[in-house]
Every structure is written in structure tokens, then in C-alpha cells.
Amino acid sequence: MTEHFPAPELSYEDLTIGRRLRTGTIEVRREEMLAFASRYDPQPFHLEETAGQGSVFGGMSASGWFTAALTMRLMILGEFKFRGGAVGLGVEAIRWPRPVHVGDRLTAETEVAAMRVSESRPAFGIVKFVTTTTNQRGEVVMTKTANVLIPRRAAPPRSE
């Protein structure tokens, strides 16, 4: 299991609707999950087993923002790798249908749902990506729809 999934840098022109970008796999480690929750989402069910068991999660569970952050890491270390980088413009939806627990092994897949050249920034395309994060049992723990600014290749020189 590795979170690294070597892949070439892509540009807008390499994408097509329906193309899927894969990632490696990352394990949810207790220390990291607790450090994240302690700093960014310090609620008892993210920090204590007993509080988690008494909650709707049925056990100590990760903050949804931690799942989102781990998914972003997986993406950048995987095939979601763009020449010049990918700038998130906004998110249209995130769902967390199942909790994430210590020891879970997460992987993600991102599909190109829509794409167009930016009118205000013609050096970029605006791409709608749908990302699905799953655990070691293939259960979906997060879905995300986001609009991202993706660099286009330099325009070819005019043949004059």
C-alpha cells in the first residue's frame, strides 16, 4: 500500500469528459487523525472513543475536513497532477455518507464531469471534477464535486 501513484503532469488538453484520475492508498493513522481533530475540529466524537460510541458515528470518527484533506493529498500524489498546478474555484457539493475510522485505508478516483475554456482567463480551462473516496471495503466515505482552474498548454506559435 502506498499513497504515491506516479503519474505525468497533465494539461487541460489531456482531459476528456469521463476520464478518470486514480490515486494510491493512504491509511488513517490515529496520531494524525487526533492531531487534525484537536487543532481543527475539536469535538468529542472526533477525539474520544467513548464519545464516538455514543454518537451517530458509532465510534470515534474522523472530521470530514480530515477526510477531505487526505483525499486532496491522495489526488496530488496521484494522477491529479497538473503542469502549473490546479486551483480550486469552489465546491458544488461534498457528502460524507459513512464515517472514517482509525485504520481505514482510503483511495480516491476523480472523474472529469464537464470542461470549458475560461472566458476571463483564456490560459486556463475550468473543469468540473467529481471525486469519490472509498475505504478498504469499497464503501464510499466522501463524494465531492469541485470546479478547478486547470492550465492550458501554451498556444502554438502562429505560422506567419
The binding site for its own copies (CB under 8 A) comprises 36, 39-45, 51, 55-57, 63-65, 68-70, 72-73, 76-77, 84-96, 121, 124, 149
Given the complex with its own copies, which of 37 and 109 has the nearer CB atom?
A: 37
Distance between terminal CA atoms of the chain? 52
Given the complex with its own copies, which of 15 and 55 has the nearer CB atom?
A: 55
Nearest approach in angstroms of CB 12 to its own copies is: 14
Given the complex with its own copies, which of 6 and 85 has the nearer CB atom?
A: 85
Given the complex with its own copies, which of 93 and 160 has the nearer CB atom?
A: 93
Quickly list DSSP for the chain: --S------B-GGG--TT-EEEEEEEE--HHHHHHHHHHH---HHHH-HHHHHTSTTSS----HHHHHHHHHHHHHHTT--BTT--EEEEEEEEE--S---TT-EEEEEEEEEEEEE-SS-TTEEEEEEEEEEE-TTS-EEEEEEEEEEEEPPPPPPP--
Nearest approach in angstroms of CB 81 to its own copies is: 9
Nearest approach in angstroms of CB 157 to its own copies is: 21
Cβ pair 115, 127 in contact under 8 A: yes
Nearest approach in angstroms of CB 58 to its own copies is: 12
Cell of 70: 487526505
Given the complex with its own copies, which of 128 and 160 has the nearer CB atom?
A: 128
Nearest approach in angstroms of CB 18 to its own copies is: 24
